[in-house]
Amino acid sequence: MDLGIAGRKAIVCASSRGLGRACATALAEAGCEVVINGRDRDRLAATAEELRKATGAKITPVAADIASADGQQALLAACPQPDILVNNNAGPPFRDFRELDRSKMLDGVIANMIVAVELIQKVIDPMVAKKFGRIVNITSGSVRAPIAGLDLSSGARAGLTAFLAGVARSVAAANVTINFVLPGIFETDRFRSNVEATVKKRGISYEAALKERVDTVPARRIGDPDELGQACAFLCSAQAGYITGQNVLIDGGAFPGAF
Protein backbone atom coordinates (compact mmCIF):
# COMPACT_ATOMS: atom_id res chain seq x y z
CA MET A 1 0.00 0.00 0.00
CA ASP A 2 1.35 3.42 -0.96
CA LEU A 3 0.95 5.58 2.14
CA GLY A 4 1.22 8.78 0.12
CA ILE A 5 3.99 10.28 2.27
CA ALA A 6 7.08 9.74 0.09
CA GLY A 7 9.28 12.81 0.38
CA ARG A 8 7.72 13.92 3.65
CA LYS A 9 10.05 14.86 6.52
CA ALA A 10 9.69 13.01 9.81
CA ILE A 11 11.17 13.26 13.30
CA VAL A 12 11.04 10.12 15.42
CA CYS A 13 12.13 10.56 19.02
CA ALA A 14 14.02 7.88 20.95
CA SER A 15 14.50 5.84 17.81
CA SER A 16 17.91 4.20 18.04
CA ARG A 17 16.22 0.97 19.18
CA GLY A 18 12.93 -0.61 20.18
CA LEU A 19 9.55 0.78 19.20
CA GLY A 20 10.98 4.13 18.06
CA ARG A 21 13.36 2.41 15.69
CA ALA A 22 10.48 0.33 14.30
CA CYS A 23 8.49 3.51 13.60
CA ALA A 24 11.48 5.17 11.95
CA THR A 25 12.02 2.08 9.80
CA ALA A 26 8.41 1.98 8.63
CA LEU A 27 8.43 5.68 7.74
CA ALA A 28 11.71 5.32 5.86
CA GLU A 29 10.24 2.37 3.94
CA ALA A 30 7.32 4.64 3.01
CA GLY A 31 9.76 7.10 1.43
CA CYS A 32 10.10 9.67 4.20
CA GLU A 33 13.27 11.50 5.12
CA VAL A 34 13.71 10.59 8.78
CA VAL A 35 15.51 12.28 11.64
CA ILE A 36 16.25 9.70 14.33
CA ASN A 37 17.20 10.47 17.90
CA GLY A 38 18.85 8.96 20.93
CA ARG A 39 21.40 9.77 23.62
CA ASP A 40 23.93 7.04 22.80
CA ARG A 41 25.85 8.57 19.89
CA ASP A 42 27.49 5.33 18.75
CA ARG A 43 24.28 3.30 18.86
CA LEU A 44 22.45 6.06 17.01
CA ALA A 45 25.07 6.24 14.27
CA ALA A 46 24.93 2.47 13.82
CA THR A 47 21.13 2.56 13.59
CA ALA A 48 21.24 5.36 11.02
CA GLU A 49 23.62 3.41 8.82
CA GLU A 50 21.55 0.23 9.10
CA LEU A 51 18.35 2.10 8.15
CA ARG A 52 20.03 3.75 5.17
CA LYS A 53 21.20 0.39 3.87
CA ALA A 54 17.84 -1.28 4.49
CA THR A 55 15.59 1.43 3.03
CA GLY A 56 17.68 3.75 0.87
CA ALA A 57 16.10 6.69 2.67
CA LYS A 58 17.79 9.83 3.93
CA ILE A 59 18.39 9.24 7.64
CA THR A 60 19.77 12.00 9.87
CA PRO A 61 20.89 11.05 13.38
CA VAL A 62 20.64 13.64 16.17
CA ALA A 63 22.24 12.60 19.45
CA ALA A 64 20.42 14.64 22.08
CA ASP A 65 18.44 14.50 25.30
CA ILE A 66 15.08 15.82 24.15
CA ALA A 67 14.07 16.62 27.73
CA SER A 68 16.47 19.56 27.51
CA ALA A 69 15.98 22.81 25.60
CA ASP A 70 19.30 22.27 23.83
CA GLY A 71 18.27 18.77 22.79
CA GLN A 72 14.99 19.98 21.32
CA GLN A 73 16.79 22.79 19.52
CA ALA A 74 19.23 20.30 17.98
CA LEU A 75 16.38 18.08 16.83
CA LEU A 76 14.53 20.93 15.16
CA ALA A 77 17.71 22.37 13.66
CA ALA A 78 18.02 19.10 11.74
CA CYS A 79 14.38 19.30 10.62
CA PRO A 80 12.87 22.75 11.25
CA GLN A 81 9.41 22.03 9.84
CA PRO A 82 8.63 18.31 9.99
CA ASP A 83 5.53 16.94 8.34
CA ILE A 84 5.49 14.06 10.81
CA LEU A 85 6.40 13.92 14.50
CA VAL A 86 6.50 10.69 16.46
CA ASN A 87 6.82 11.37 20.18
CA ASN A 88 8.45 8.56 22.09
CA ASN A 89 10.41 8.47 25.31
CA ALA A 90 11.42 5.87 27.86
CA GLY A 91 9.26 5.68 30.93
CA PRO A 92 10.37 5.67 34.57
CA PRO A 93 11.53 2.31 35.95
CA PHE A 94 9.22 -0.20 37.57
CA ARG A 95 8.92 0.70 41.27
CA ASP A 96 6.42 0.87 44.11
CA PHE A 97 4.71 4.26 44.23
CA ARG A 98 5.81 4.65 47.85
CA GLU A 99 9.39 4.97 46.62
CA LEU A 100 8.60 8.02 44.48
CA ASP A 101 9.70 11.36 45.88
CA ARG A 102 8.77 14.71 44.33
CA SER A 103 11.92 14.87 42.19
CA LYS A 104 11.29 11.43 40.65
CA MET A 105 7.65 12.30 39.98
CA LEU A 106 8.55 15.56 38.27
CA ASP A 107 11.17 13.80 36.14
CA GLY A 108 8.55 11.26 35.04
CA VAL A 109 6.01 13.92 34.11
CA ILE A 110 8.64 15.88 32.17
CA ALA A 111 9.79 12.81 30.23
CA ASN A 112 6.39 11.32 29.45
CA MET A 113 4.15 14.37 29.13
CA ILE A 114 5.86 17.76 29.00
CA VAL A 115 8.52 16.93 26.37
CA ALA A 116 5.87 15.79 23.89
CA VAL A 117 3.79 18.91 24.48
CA GLU A 118 6.82 21.16 24.02
CA LEU A 119 7.76 19.53 20.72
CA ILE A 120 4.20 19.75 19.45
CA GLN A 121 4.09 23.45 20.36
CA LYS A 122 7.14 23.98 18.15
CA VAL A 123 5.95 22.08 15.07
CA ILE A 124 2.19 22.40 14.90
CA ASP A 125 1.75 25.89 13.41
CA PRO A 126 3.88 25.16 10.30
CA MET A 127 1.87 21.95 9.86
CA VAL A 128 -1.36 23.93 10.01
CA ALA A 129 0.00 26.48 7.53
CA LYS A 130 0.82 23.85 4.92
CA LYS A 131 -2.37 21.84 5.58
CA PHE A 132 -0.59 18.62 6.43
CA GLY A 133 0.68 17.22 9.68
CA ARG A 134 0.77 13.87 11.41
CA ILE A 135 1.63 13.56 15.10
CA VAL A 136 1.75 10.16 16.78
CA ASN A 137 2.45 9.76 20.47
CA ILE A 138 3.64 6.36 21.65
CA THR A 139 2.25 6.00 25.17
CA SER A 140 1.34 2.69 26.81
CA GLY A 141 -1.42 0.15 27.21
CA SER A 142 -1.23 1.04 30.91
CA VAL A 143 -3.04 4.29 30.06
CA ARG A 144 -6.14 2.12 29.57
CA ALA A 145 -5.31 -0.58 32.12
CA PRO A 146 -2.88 0.75 34.75
CA ILE A 147 -0.25 -1.62 36.11
CA ALA A 148 0.92 -1.38 39.73
CA GLY A 149 4.57 -0.38 39.71
CA LEU A 150 4.20 1.67 36.53
CA ASP A 151 1.97 4.26 38.21
CA LEU A 152 4.12 7.26 37.32
CA SER A 153 4.38 6.23 33.68
CA SER A 154 0.65 5.56 33.48
CA GLY A 155 -0.25 8.87 35.11
CA ALA A 156 2.07 11.02 33.01
CA ARG A 157 1.02 9.38 29.75
CA ALA A 158 -2.66 9.61 30.64
CA GLY A 159 -2.09 13.30 31.34
CA LEU A 160 -0.58 13.72 27.88
CA THR A 161 -3.58 11.95 26.34
CA ALA A 162 -6.07 14.27 28.04
CA PHE A 163 -3.99 17.37 27.33
CA LEU A 164 -3.84 16.68 23.60
CA ALA A 165 -7.45 15.54 23.16
CA GLY A 166 -8.68 19.10 22.74
CA VAL A 167 -5.61 20.16 20.77
CA ALA A 168 -6.28 17.40 18.24
CA ARG A 169 -9.78 18.69 17.55
CA SER A 170 -8.57 22.28 17.24
CA VAL A 171 -6.30 21.51 14.26
CA ALA A 172 -8.26 18.73 12.54
CA ALA A 173 -9.72 21.08 9.91
CA ALA A 174 -6.15 21.88 8.74
CA ASN A 175 -5.47 18.19 7.96
CA VAL A 176 -3.26 17.91 11.05
CA THR A 177 -3.92 14.82 13.13
CA ILE A 178 -2.81 13.84 16.62
CA ASN A 179 -3.16 10.22 17.65
CA PHE A 180 -1.83 7.81 20.25
CA VAL A 181 -0.45 4.31 19.95
CA LEU A 182 -0.75 2.27 23.14
CA PRO A 183 1.57 -0.74 23.11
CA GLY A 184 1.10 -3.78 25.26
CA ILE A 185 4.07 -6.07 25.78
CA PHE A 186 6.62 -5.93 22.98
CA GLU A 187 10.10 -7.37 22.62
CA THR A 188 12.02 -4.31 23.85
CA ASP A 189 14.67 -3.47 26.43
CA ARG A 190 11.96 -1.76 28.47
CA PHE A 191 9.85 -4.91 28.64
CA ARG A 192 12.83 -7.06 29.57
CA SER A 193 13.78 -4.67 32.39
CA ASN A 194 10.24 -4.89 33.79
CA VAL A 195 10.42 -8.68 33.76
CA GLU A 196 13.79 -8.51 35.53
CA ALA A 197 12.26 -6.24 38.19
CA THR A 198 9.59 -8.87 38.81
CA VAL A 199 12.31 -11.53 39.12
CA LYS A 200 14.13 -9.53 41.81
CA LYS A 201 10.98 -8.59 43.68
CA ARG A 202 9.47 -12.07 43.81
CA GLY A 203 12.53 -14.29 43.66
CA ILE A 204 11.35 -16.33 40.68
CA SER A 205 13.15 -17.24 37.47
CA TYR A 206 13.15 -14.98 34.40
CA GLU A 207 11.39 -17.73 32.44
CA ALA A 208 8.62 -17.98 35.03
CA ALA A 209 8.14 -14.21 35.16
CA LEU A 210 8.08 -14.02 31.35
CA LYS A 211 5.52 -16.83 31.10
CA GLU A 212 3.26 -15.04 33.56
CA ARG A 213 3.26 -11.94 31.40
CA VAL A 214 2.76 -13.79 28.12
CA ASP A 215 -0.10 -15.81 29.62
CA THR A 216 -2.03 -12.56 30.13
CA VAL A 217 -2.08 -11.98 26.37
CA PRO A 218 -4.78 -13.78 24.36
CA ALA A 219 -2.41 -13.88 21.38
CA ARG A 220 -0.01 -15.88 23.62
CA ARG A 221 3.07 -14.08 22.38
CA ILE A 222 5.08 -10.91 22.74
CA GLY A 223 4.56 -8.25 20.10
CA ASP A 224 7.07 -7.64 17.33
CA PRO A 225 8.12 -3.94 17.28
CA ASP A 226 7.70 -3.91 13.49
CA GLU A 227 3.97 -4.54 13.95
CA LEU A 228 3.67 -1.33 15.92
CA GLY A 229 5.94 0.52 13.49
CA GLN A 230 3.66 -0.29 10.56
CA ALA A 231 0.59 0.85 12.50
CA CYS A 232 2.35 4.12 13.32
CA ALA A 233 3.25 4.64 9.66
CA PHE A 234 -0.37 4.19 8.63
CA LEU A 235 -1.49 6.83 11.14
CA CYS A 236 1.05 9.13 9.46
CA SER A 237 -0.26 8.34 5.98
CA ALA A 238 -2.20 10.54 3.59
CA GLN A 239 -5.12 8.11 3.95
CA ALA A 240 -5.38 8.61 7.74
CA GLY A 241 -6.47 12.24 7.66
CA TYR A 242 -9.91 11.40 9.11
CA ILE A 243 -8.45 9.66 12.17
CA THR A 244 -7.57 12.02 14.99
CA GLY A 245 -7.66 12.13 18.78
CA GLN A 246 -7.71 8.35 18.90
CA ASN A 247 -5.98 5.81 21.14
CA VAL A 248 -4.95 2.75 19.15
CA LEU A 249 -4.35 -0.15 21.51
CA ILE A 250 -1.91 -2.75 20.17
CA ASP A 251 -1.71 -5.43 22.83
CA GLY A 252 -2.63 -8.83 21.39
CA GLY A 253 -6.11 -8.58 22.94
CA ALA A 254 -4.89 -8.15 26.52
CA PHE A 255 -7.30 -5.33 27.37
CA PRO A 256 -10.63 -7.08 28.04
CA GLY A 257 -13.05 -4.27 27.22
CA ALA A 258 -15.30 -3.97 24.16
CA PHE A 259 -14.67 -0.22 23.85
Q: Express each pLDDT in 156-174 by its tens digit.
A: 999 999 999 999 999 999 9
Residue 201's pLDDT is 85
Domain ranges in the chain? 9-184+224-242, 187-222
Count each helix (H run) and each strand (E run) in the chain, helices first. 9, 7
pLDDT of residue 236: 98
Banded pLDDT at 92 (limits 50, 70, 90): confident
Task: Return the amino acid letter for 198.
Answer: T
pLDDT for position 90: 85
Q: What does pTM read for this prediction?
A: 0.94
Whether the predicted pLDDT of 24 surpasses 90: yes
Superfamily name with CATH number, domain 9-184+224-242: NAD(P)-binding Rossmann-like Domain (3.40.50.720)
pLDDT mean over 76-101: 93
CA-nearest of 76, 61, 162, 171 to 118 is: 76
Residue 198 has a pLDDT of 85
Using CB atoms within 10 Å of the CB of residue 42, give its burial: 0 to 12 exposed, 13 to 18 middle, 19+ buried: exposed
Q: Which of 256, 177, 183 is nearest to 226 (CA)?
A: 183
Residues contacting residue 149 through CB under 8 Å, at least 6 positions apart:
94, 95, 96, 97, 194, 197
